[in-house]
A = this chain, B = another copy of it.
Amino acid sequence: MTERAVCVIGTGLIGGSLLRAADKAGREVWGTSGSAATAEQARADGFDVTTDTDAALRRAAESDALVVLAVPLTVVPEVLRRVDAAAPTCRLTDAVSVKVAVADAVARYAPRSRYVGGHPMAGTAESGWVAGRAGLFADAAWVVVADDGLDLEVWADVAELAWACGARVVPAAADEHDLAVARVSHLPHLLAAVLAAVGAAGEDDLPLALAASSFADGTRVAGTRPELVLAMCEGNRDALLAAVDDALGRLGAMRGALASTGGLAATVHAGHAGRQRWAASRNPDGMRVPRGRTSLSALRDIGRRGGAVVGWAG
């Protein structure tokens, strides 16, 4: 099996970690940053990073590398225009946290590319090249979009990159991915923001002085750079509205119960059951499928059952 070369566009937390992880796995890998200072820092750390995106993409076209877009959603159209100019038929994936919007942008700006969307589900409240590390994706879920019609060979390229980075592959339809992450990734950021604002709303400093681990954990992701949260959440608006409405409905029902009977049992028990179901899902069955011979529909079903693909069979 060829160890395909990797070209990473964007070297923030995710792109920078991906570059380090692919390098550590023995891949030929290079990257680009929009910031000269970041590129210099990455080179000082021993990585092949420049600010010349067009040159990096031409090199990807020449060596049939896998191009990974690890830039914010707002920058994706601009980068896709460059892809279409410099490497129009390249193998292409991304690490953006919403998938329908990126697929739409690819169809519009780089329609000849062989695109298979990806989303490594890892991150910290920190950001930037210096926050990255090769181990960021270890044991993480890495969504690889399995919509009908895409190129199974590139699907295999993306899966192999995820495995090389230590992750497990969760196949999913793009729209089902967006609904799922609205519930388990974007809503947590908004509830953390609301909680942090309520805690800091008082006139005196007593509440924050009394904040302990439940507040610390519940607001942790409110420490993420606001631009990153906004790009992620606003790019997933429709799915996020559904998740917010679900949360509002549950919170409103709880408010009513607290005011009328004083009882919170329904809320607390449902939450406890949800957390336990989550805990039980932590060690999914790691499946192996034949390379290039499993249908996209069968792959999607693996993800819907909470499973993951960890390698090729046979």
| A→B interface (CB under 8 Å) | 121-124, 140-141, 143, 170, 172, 176-177, 179-181, 183-185, 187-202, 204-224, 226, 229-230, 233-234, 237, 240-241, 243-248, 250-252, 254-255, 258-259, 262-265, 267-279, 281, 284, 303-308
Contact = CB atoms under 8 A, between A and B. Distances in A.
Contact of A185 (B205, B212, B245, B271): B212
A250 B198 contact: yes
22 contacts: A141-B212, A170-B210, A172-B206, A179-B202, A180-B202, A184-B214, A184-B215, A189-B268, A190-B268, A191-B218, A192-B271, A196-B275, A199-B274, A199-B278, A201-B274, A206-B304, A217-B220, A218-B218, A226-B268, A226-B269, A226-B272, A247-B251
A208 B185 CA distance: 10
A198 B222 contact: no
Given A141-B212, A198-B247, A208-B281, 10 more contacts: A123-B213, A179-B202, A188-B214, A188-B215, A209-B281, A216-B278, A222-B271, A223-B276, A230-B265, A234-B263
Contacts of A124: 213
A309 to B, nearest CB: 12
Nearest to A119: B210
B268 A196 contact: no
Given A205-B306, A213-B123, A229 B268 contact: yes
A265 B272 CA distance: 31
Contacts of A274: 193, 196-201, 219, 222
A274 B193 CA distance: 8
Contacts of A179: 202, 207
Nearest to A171: B206
A210 B121 contact: yes
Given A262-B234, A264-B233, A272-B226, A198 B187 contact: yes
The 6 closest A-B CB pairs, nearest first, are A193-B271, A205-B306, A196-B274, A200-B274, A184-B211, A222-B275
A198 B183 contact: yes
A70 B204 CA distance: 29
A208 B279 CA distance: 9
A245 to B, nearest CB: 7
B184 A207 contact: yes
A267 B193 CA distance: 6
Contact of A264 (B188, B190, B204, B218): B190
A214 B274 CA distance: 15
A208 B192 CA distance: 18
B278 A258 contact: no
A207 B183 contact: yes
Contact of A221 (B177, B197, B218): B218
